[in-house]
Amino acid sequence: MARILFTGPLGHGHVNPTLGIAQELVTRGHSVVYAAPEPFREAITETGAEFVPLHSSWLNSPERSGPQFHGRAFARASELALAETVHMAGQFDALRARNRLSPPDVLVHDGPVAWWGRVVGHMWQVPTVETWPNFVSNRHWNMQRYIRLNPLDPVFLRFLWRLRRFLRSRGMHGVGRFMQGMDSHDRIVTLPREFQPAGDTFGAGYTFVGPVLTDRTHQGEWNPPAAAKPVLLVSLGTAYHDRPDFFRMIAQSAAGRPWHVVMSIGDRMDPADLGTLPANVEARAQVPQLSVLEHAAVFVTHAGMGGTVEGMAAGVPLVAVPQMAEQRANADRIAELGLGRTLDPDSLDAERFWSLVESVHADPEVAARCAWMQERTRASGGAEAAADAVEAAARAV
Span 263-275, pLDDT tens digits: 999 877 777 788 8
Q: Evaluate if residue 381 carries a pLDDT over 70.
A: yes
Predicted confidence (pLDDT) per residue in 311-332, tens digit = 999 999 999 999 888 899 999 9
Residues 305 and 170 in one domain: no
Say what the pLDDT of residue 254 is. Answer: 95
pLDDT above 60: residue 211: yes
Predicted pLDDT of residue 239: 54
What is the CATH number for 149?
Answer: 3.40.50.2000
When mean pLDDT is compared across 85-89, 285-289, 369-373, the lowest value belongs to 285-289
Looking at residue 273, its pLDDT comes to 81
Residues 182 and 237 in one domain: no
CB of 394 closer than 8 Å to CB of 105: yes
- pLDDT for position 392: 97
pLDDT band at 70, cuts 50/70/90? low
| Shared-domain flag, residues 231 and 372 | yes
Residue 168: pLDDT over 60 = yes
227 and 145 in a single domain? The answer is no
Mean pLDDT of 236-247: 73
**pLDDT value, residue 396:** 83
Q: Does residue 153 share a domain with residue 113? A: yes
Burial (0-12, 13-18, 19+ Cβ within 10 Å), 363: middle
Q: Which pLDDT score is estimated for 144?
A: 82
Q: Is the predicted pLDDT of residue 73 greater than 90, yes or no?
A: no
Say yes or no: 231 and 171 in one domain: no
> How large is the average pLDDT for residues 20-26?
98
State the pLDDT at residue 279: 93
Strand-pair category, 318-320 with 340-342: parallel
pLDDT for the residue numbered 86: 98
- Report yes or no on whether pTM surpasses 0.85: yes
For the chain, give the mean pLDDT: 92
Count of domains observed in the chain = 2
Q: For residue 64, is pLDDT > 70?
A: no
Q: Compute the distance between CA of residue 380 and CA of residue 368 in angstroms, rounded to an integer.
A: 19
169 and 191 co-located in one domain: yes
Q: Are residues 176 and 299 in the same domain?
A: no
User: What is the residue range of 52's domain?
Assistant: 3-210+380-395
Contact 107, 121 (CB under 8 A): yes
Alpha carbon 266 to its chain centroid, in Å, reads 16
Q: What is the pLDDT of residue 242?
A: 63
Pairing of strands 281-284, 31-37: unpaired
pLDDT band at residue 382 using 50, 70 and 90 as cut-offs: very high
pLDDT at residue 231, as a whole number: 97
Q: What is the pLDDT of residues 362-371, one digit of tens each?
A: 999 999 999 9
Domain identity same for 390 and 342: no
Q: Are residues 36 and 175 in the same domain?
A: yes
pLDDT at 60: 72
Alpha helices in the chain (DSSP H): 12-27, 41-45, 74-97, 116-124, 154-169, 175-179, 244-253, 289-293, 305-314, 325-336, 350-362, 364-378, 382-395
Claim to verify: residue 155 and residue 249 sit in the same structural domain: no
Q: Rounded mean pLDDT of 54-81?
A: 75
Q: Are both 111 and 166 inside the same structural domain?
A: yes
What pLDDT shows up at residue 260?
96
pLDDT of residue 272: 79
| CA separation for the pair 336, 71 (Å, rounded) | 22
Q: How many residues does the chain have?
A: 397
In this prediction, residues 157-178 reach a mean pLDDT of 96
